[in-house]
Amino acid sequence: MTPDSCFIMVGSAIESMNGKTILNLFSKRARNSLKNIKSPKFKLSHNVISVAYNILVLRNN
């Protein structure tokens, strides 16, 4: 990601993000992955969770 390709809306204007803002937002991103998600009620395998996730993603797109 570079300032040339990252933009932020300020009011109704779109402005380029500076490098510091990009790094700040990137460091706060969610680091979730399917292998880290625990199922509280069931002991599901990674494959089952992956299939369910893909179905949800395809349904919402």
pLDDT digits (tens, 9 = 90+) for 21-45: 888 888 887 676 666 666 677 777 7
Query: Global pTM?
Result: 0.44
Q: Are 4 and 17 in contact (CB under 8 A)?
A: no
pLDDT band at 13 (very low <50, low <70, confident <90, very high): very high
Question: What is the CA angle 55-59-61, rounded to 5?
Answer: 120
Mean pLDDT on 3-32? 86
**What residue ranges do the domains of the chain occupy?**
1-30, 33-61
- Name every residue whose Cβ is closer than 8 Å to that of residue 25 and which is 6 or more positions away in sequence: 17
Determine the pLDDT at residue 3. Answer: 81
Mean pLDDT on 49-59? 80
Determine the pLDDT at residue 26. Answer: 84
Distance CA 21, CA 3 (A): 9
